Structure 1
Amino acid sequence: MSKQGYHHGNLRQALVSAALKLIEEKGPTGFTLSEAAKSAGVTPAAVYRHFAGREDLIAECARQGYMIFGDLLEHAWHEGKPSALAAFSSVGRAYLAFAKKYPGHYMAMFESGISPNRSPELSAVAAKSSAAMERATRALMEHVPPEKRPPAAMVAAHVWAMSHGVVELYAREGNRSPFAPEDLLESGIGVYLRGLGLIKPD
């Protein structure tokens, strides 16, 4: 591919796309800006017109990932209605679906060490994702007696951690489990919700 320097049609997004592929192949810290530039077909110097360094490029990958992630969670929430339980389960499944379909974004968001508070833009889209999970949790917690009701934010954090653990341990290529990741997450959430009295014991 020939070098296109500063005349690339959409250099910023081309660099993001190149970085996402490199993140999938090598991890968020396994590539250089020069590699991203080469993959995008531009000179390394051209990168600095848009990004101060590799972390800024990864942060933009994460920002775009959170935008997709938040939209998926919102869609899952509305798709699962009218039952709060169905909607809650749908949100959990959306987490796994996102990690599978957008691995580069997922790793940029959760495995790069980039803080969601790095910039106001990144913080805003990350907060949207958290809000979608907490909204689903609050609706579900309304079915728990007030005196036994844990904070919705805590339950959302538990389910988020459970989903993340399933992705990290069993949803990655080469990580084998006798059960499908979706089944592991669903059964884990089921045990959790039974403990809260939201699902009757089998």
Structure 2
Amino acid sequence: MSKRGYHHGNLRQALVDAALVLIEQKGPTGFTLSEAAKTAGVTPAAVYRHFEGREDLIAEIARQGFEVFADLLDYAFESGQPSALASFEATGRAYLAFARKYPGHYIAMFESGISMQRTPELHQVATRALGVLERAAEHLSQQIPAENRPPPQMFAAHIWAMSHGVVELFARGTPGAKCPFPPEDLLETGIGIYLRGLGLIPQDTPEDT
């Protein structure tokens, strides 16, 4: 009789789902392929029919995460049209929402040490996702005089860094990290300060403070 694992309708995806649970519990380096196999209900040998090692499994999780991430960012960008500012702010909120809803994927994508260049498929979808941030930044930056305009890649990288920082420190319940303000408010006000510095939104007047 065949092993139980070979009766899975989609063993590859079952291993991905099992690894996601373990990543959320133990981090990207805190589990073995044997543990992933056990969680999925298959023999350890079955894993190697689909993945050469743990890094390959994590890379597949990252690829799937970037697929969802790209779709969410693209939807957020389009939902803000025709306002470049609304589209830009929407992509920032979508980043935070993704990290909260898909923590295992987020960890695999940004905290596992897996290179976005590891496979052509991963590189392609990661480039598509981060390209949405750059597109939003480029549209908004057109309102800045050319001589003062930062490159769209730098503009997007600043917002990416800000969003990632809020996620890391406050959005996922990091032990010891407490803040009296919701992560959404932290990100929105941080982006606001950044955009004011670039002259893209007006400075507060005394009546506003």
What TM-score do you get using the length of structure 2 for normalisation? 0.94
| Unaligned runs of at least 5 residues, structure 2 | 205-209
- Give the Cα separation in 1 of the matches to 2:172 and 2:5: 36
Question: How many angstroms does 1:4 deviate by?
Answer: 1.2
Measured against aligned partners, the alpha-carbon deviations of 1:55-104 in whole angstroms (never above 9, x if no partner) come to 00000000000000000000000111111000000000000000000000
| Unaligned runs of at least 5 residues, structure 1 | none
- Give the Cα separation in 2 of the matches to 1:35 and 1:162: 35
- Give the Cα separation in 2 of the matches to 1:84 and 1:4: 53
Alpha-carbon contact 2:81-2:87 (below 8 Å) kept:
yes
Measured against aligned partners, the alpha-carbon deviations of 1:13-61 in whole angstroms (never above 9, x if no partner) come to 0000000111011111111111110111100000000000110000000
Question: How many angstroms does 1:9 deviate by?
Answer: 1.4
CA RMSD of aligned residues (A): 0.9
Q: Which amino acid aligns with 1:190?
A: G
Alpha-carbon contact 2:96-2:167 (below 8 Å) kept:
yes
Counterparts of 1:55-134 in structure 2 under 5 Å?
A: 55-134=55-134
- Give the Cα separation in 2 of the matches to 1:136 and 1:64: 23
Residue 135 (structure 2) aligns with: 135
Structure 1 residue corresponding to 2:190, chosen from 185, 188, 191: 188
Alpha-carbon contact 2:5-2:11 (below 8 Å) kept:
no
Alpha-carbon contact 2:137-2:156 (below 8 Å) kept:
yes
Is 2:193 the partner of 1:201?
Answer: no
Question: How many angstroms does 1:7 deviate by?
Answer: 2.8
Q: Please state whether the residue corresponding to 2:179 is helix, strand or coil.
A: coil
- Give the Cα separation in 1 of the matches to 2:100 and 2:80: 20
Residue 169 (structure 1) aligns with: 169
- Give the Cα separation in 2 of the matches to 1:20 and 1:5: 18
- Give the Cα separation in 1 of the matches to 2:76 and 2:178: 27
Q: Percent identity?
A: 70
- Give the Cα separation in 2 of the matches to 1:81 and 1:5: 48
Structure 2 residue corresponding to 1:179, chosen from 152, 158, 181: 181
- Give the Cα separation in 2 of the matches to 1:102 and 1:196: 32
Residue 146 (structure 2) aligns with: 146
Question: How many angstroms does 1:120 deviate by?
Answer: 0.5
Residue 37 (structure 2) aligns with: 37
Q: Which amino acid aligns with 1:136?
A: A
Question: How many angstroms does 1:6 deviate by?
Answer: 2.5
Aligned residues: 200
What TM-score do you get using the length of structure 1 for normalisation? 0.97
- Give the Cα separation in 1 of the matches to 2:140 and 2:69: 21
Q: Which amino acid aligns with 2:190?
A: G
- Give the Cα separation in 2 of the matches to 1:146 and 1:11: 53
- Give the Cα separation in 2 of the matches to 1:54 and 1:148: 46
